[in-house]
Amino acid sequence: MTATEQRFREFKMPDVGEGLTEAEILKWYVQPGDTVTDGQVICEVETAKAAVELPCPYDGVVQAVHFDEGVTVDVGTSIIVVDTNPGAGPAEAPAAQAAPAAEAEEEAEPQGRQAVLVGYGAAPSSTKRRARKAQPGAAGASSEPAAAAVQAELNGHAGAAVPSAPAPAAPSLPTAERPLAKPPVRKLAKDLGIDLATVTPTGPDGVITREDVHAAASATAPAAEAPAPAPAAAVATGGSEAVRARETRIPIKGVRKATAQAMVNSAFTAPHVTEFITVDVTRTMKLVQELKQDPDMAGLRVNPLLLVAKALLVAIKRNPEINAAWDEENQEIVRKDYVNLGIAAATPRGLIVPNIKDAEAKTLPQLAAALGELVATAREGKTAPGDMAGGTVTITNVGVFGVDTGTPILNPGESAILAFGAVKLQPWVHKGKVKPRQVTTLALSFDHRLVDGELGSKVLADIAAILEHPKRLIAWA
């Protein structure tokens, strides 16, 4: 490692989960010029399942931030440069990075333009080095499209047409460089669909401000409103501008991308079977109210889901074969002697399934505490990847949305998932008379490769029996 490399340390995107390959930068907490310390949080990233804060491993001053907010970065890619010895004199890191870039332009390698794509443009030293090349015109013509192509790929727009930069009349290349703007301003421009290259900067040293972006958006608004409603023929044309103007395209990434891949893999790998049962849960609902007044449950969240979870754990204890997984590679059925109970949680970032480790060993108060912590952490977007790994069986509470039930898809690596529907007051035959009772519908999906209909039916029937007569929690525990 050279002296320059020892001084200017690069922090690369780490694998914050189990074998993750990429992460999206959600928010930067530092900017070039900020002082950072070892362990200070510098940014928040979203992996396939969770939002994670990344701490800086160095003391020093931020020299460069390589990517804007909203960009998905591969694991192992440098995202920030820290000057660990800012008192040693003027920073020379940009010039040191620009030298190999100039040599690599003849081979048209995207990495050769990395220094231009980082921070706020090329340093004056790198500009002088390019101006001394024998063919500055050719270098400018080849490097600018390459830089734009690399930036487009980093922003998830690979394959998009990149406008060719006009050949410079003089070796004053900084005018053709990437527009100067801070990451939040770039994100604003991206959200508003504004090309920063068309924005007139008013900030110091030619930096584009938020006001500049808003002004550009206001200027383009009348033009966007001008077209009249498209005729039926134009609407029928899928590639027409009129149709695209009426559509919103959302990049598939983060939690949504991971969920989609997991659901497709599960649906087309495990043969799903779903069984249903409607049950009178009036006694369970009364027990919920009684537990809320119990001193041992003080400060804990007691709800029907808690007793459904406990009923499922008791049913698994009576039918342990349901708590298993199919190992295709080794051609084995892996029966688990522990239950990591997953709870499907809808969060602002999408569906996640954190699980309660060793749930079968917990008392009811302990289970209530773990369930409350799991839900709170998920809503805050702070669920760690490890909390979502190793699940053995899952509950999805679709009843909170007023839905009677559903046909849930298995979480990959599990053999069963229970859907808990809405509890509604319905006419029900009770002790020979039709009375209003609180009724719900349960649905159990299972992997038919290792769970036969008999086993699945027994598990679902046991859950229903417990919820109908919760005293069985004591008799069968």
Q: Would strands 433-447 and 78-83 be described as parallel, antiparallel, or unpaired? A: unpaired
3-state secondary structure of 261: helix
Q: Would strands 332-335 and 324-327 be described as parallel, antiparallel, or unpaired? A: antiparallel
3-state secondary structure of 425: strand
Cβ distance 423 to 402 under 8 Å?
no
Residue found under tokens 């340093």: 123
Distance CA 311, CA 464 (A): 8
Cβ distance 350 to 362 under 8 Å?
no
Continuous H helices in 113-268: 114-117, 124-131, 136-154, 183-192, 210-225, 232-235, 241-245, 254-267
Q: Would strands 393-396 and 416-420 be described as parallel, antiparallel, or unpaired? A: parallel
Cβ distance 13 to 56 under 8 Å?
no
Distance CA 276, CA 284 (A): 19
Distance CA 48, CA 431 (A): 51
469 belongs to the catalytic site: no
Residue found under tokens 């920073």: 91
Q: Which of 66, 157, 272, 448 is catalytic?
A: 448
Q: What angle do helix axes 304-318 and 282-292 make, rounded to 10 degrees?
A: 120
What is the CB-side half-sphere exposure of residue 144 using CA atoms within 13 A? 20
Cβ distance 474 to 444 under 8 Å?
no
Write out the two tokens for 248.
């919103």
β-strand partners of 416: 446
Q: What is each CA distance from 19 to 16, 47, 181, 203, 395, in whole angstroms? A: 8, 11, 34, 43, 26
Distance CA 25, CA 46 (A): 6
Distance CA 183, CA 403 (A): 42
Q: What is the CA radius of gyration of the chain?
A: 29
Question: How many CB atoms are located within 10 Å of the residue 51 CB?
Answer: 21
Torsion of CA 125, 126, 131, 135, to 10 degrees: 160
Q: Which active-site residues does the annotation give?
A: 448
